[in-house]
Chain A
């Protein structure tokens, strides 16, 4: 408990912090240099989401990005990698959306062990504080995610594939 990620070295970028808040919860925080209406727009328009959700360092690219960011509607992100035969899909349902304030969604690709993610947006003097909160169904589910070494599903899989192909 209480394990916390190191702070980033000074790079002009705002710090991203991660903390395991409890047996079932992970919390990520970050401040963005823009008003909440713009930050919220970037989280809710598929054509904008596509530009940042899978940065180059992830080694994957979007095949499709569907997201109807409204309470009760769904999302489906499909990623591909040059070395992978099968694309990987991440999907779930938005269970609560309050414009410029909050988005809550489920992560259903792993069945019942998936977390519920709550992102809150709070404007402070032209900047926006984003707090992302992952609540796992149980301590075991979060421990299992940690034990599997997977931090975002596809990254490790594809990195392993890259390593295999390199040898």
Chain B
């Protein structure tokens, strides 16, 4: 596991050592894009951009999917893992808030019962 992480980090650093690749990540942070669009944006050949995207993909920083004849690039699984962790943390905070709200609702229900009975008497 530790070894895997080291390998993974090495791949990430290597991927990030290149200015174009950092630019691609920045670009994909704004919106998904096809390899053709990225090549155009960075004034590069399709083959050159494919190589850069391949390195980012190896590092788990970018994911690609081919739809028809177009290969679309998105930010990769590492980004998604970060998002899942954040969402779980957010969920836990709301869950503890709502558990406290459960208690308030129970109290109000009890009060209503007592008040309702008192009115009938």
Interface residues of A (CB under 8 A from B): 3-6, 8, 13-14, 16-20, 26, 28, 30, 32-34, 38-39, 41-42, 48, 51-55, 57-58, 132, 139-140, 143, 146-147, 149, 151-152, 155
| Contact residues on B (Cβ < 8 Å of other chain), bracket | 20 to 34
Tally inter-chain residue pairs, CB-CB below 8 A: 99
A-B contact pairs, 10 of them (CB 8 A): A3-B80, A4-B84, A8-B95, A16-B95, A42-B105, A42-B108, A54-B97, A57-B96, A146-B82, A149-B86
**Residue in contact with B105 in the complex, picked from A8, A26, A38, CB distance below 8 Å:** A38
Dominant secondary structure of chain A at its interface with chain B: mixed
Closest 5 pairs between A and B when the two form their complex, measured CB to CB: A5-B91, A52-B100, A16-B95, A18-B91, A55-B100
**Residue in contact with B87 in the complex, picked from A3, A14, A33, A143, CB distance below 8 Å:** A3
Dominant secondary structure of chain B at its interface with chain A: helix
> When chains A and B are docked, how far (Å) is the Cα of A70 from the Cα of B97?
23
Interface residues of B (CB under 8 A from A): 29-31, 80, 82-84, 86-91, 93-106, 108-109, 112
- Would B84 and A3 count as touching, CB distance under 8 A? yes
Contacts of B94 in A (CB 8 A): 16, 18, 28, 30, 132
Contacts of B98 in A (CB 8 A): 14, 16, 30, 32, 52
